[in-house]
Amino acid sequence: MLFNICVGSPTVASYLRNLIVSSGLGRVARASGLDDLWGQPENHTRADIVILEYRDDPSLDAWIAKKTAYSDSPGIFLLFPQASEQDLLKALALGVHGFFHLPVDQEDFQASVASYQRMAAWFNARPYLMPTYLKAASLSRLPQVWKVISDQ
């Protein structure tokens, strides 16, 4: 798998690069700052997964919502400095595929990426379901949808 990392700190970028490589899940295609999202978004569509260091910014929220609305977009995972219920609700509302907080637990990271891979494979085998899922999924149905996908 190819990962793009978009974070504000070179230290965090290096940390995530090491996490990805040591997990054996793939490699980092690109590590950049969040400001690079606006300049050349086509660079981010080649990755299988994009990890974004989240900041409360309406333009970032709009970018995430736009990317998660299309089935051919990469998986979007948000990185928060610490875990909170508000962050989880924000991630769900934006429609991202997962979220992490620092420090990222390697087992949780591997499980989240594996879950995303299963979901993507399930929908890739059933492309006729993707638009319905994106339009009809609500926060109340999301746990049931994920259970069905993970049981496949």
Q: What tens-digit pLDDT sequence spans the chain (152 residues)?
A: 889 888 888 899 999 999 999 999 888 887 776 665 544 445 444 788 889 998 888 888 888 888 877 767 788 899 998 878 888 888 888 888 888 989 999 999 999 999 888 887 877 776 655 544 444 344 444 544 444 445 55
Whole-number Å distance between alpha carbons of 35 and 33 = 5
Question: Is the CB of residue 116 less than 8 Å from the CB of residue 49?
Answer: yes
Q: 129: which DSSP letter?
A: G
- The tokens describing 132, both together, are 């319905």
pLDDT at 51: 92
Query: What is the DSSP code (8-state) at residue 122?
Result: H
pLDDT of residue 128: 58
Q: Where are the domains of the chain?
A: 2-151
CA atoms within 13 A on the CB side of 105: 7
pLDDT at 127: 60
pLDDT at residue number 126: 67
Query: At 64, which amino acid appears?
Result: I
Predicted TM-score (pTM) of this structure: 0.75
Q: How confident is the model at residue 132, as a pLDDT?
A: 43
Q: Bridge partners of 49?
A: 3, 75
Where is 77: in which H helix or E strand?
A: strand 75-80
CATH T-level fold of 2-151 = Rossmann fold (3.40.50)
Closest CA to 62 of 42, 41, 83: 41
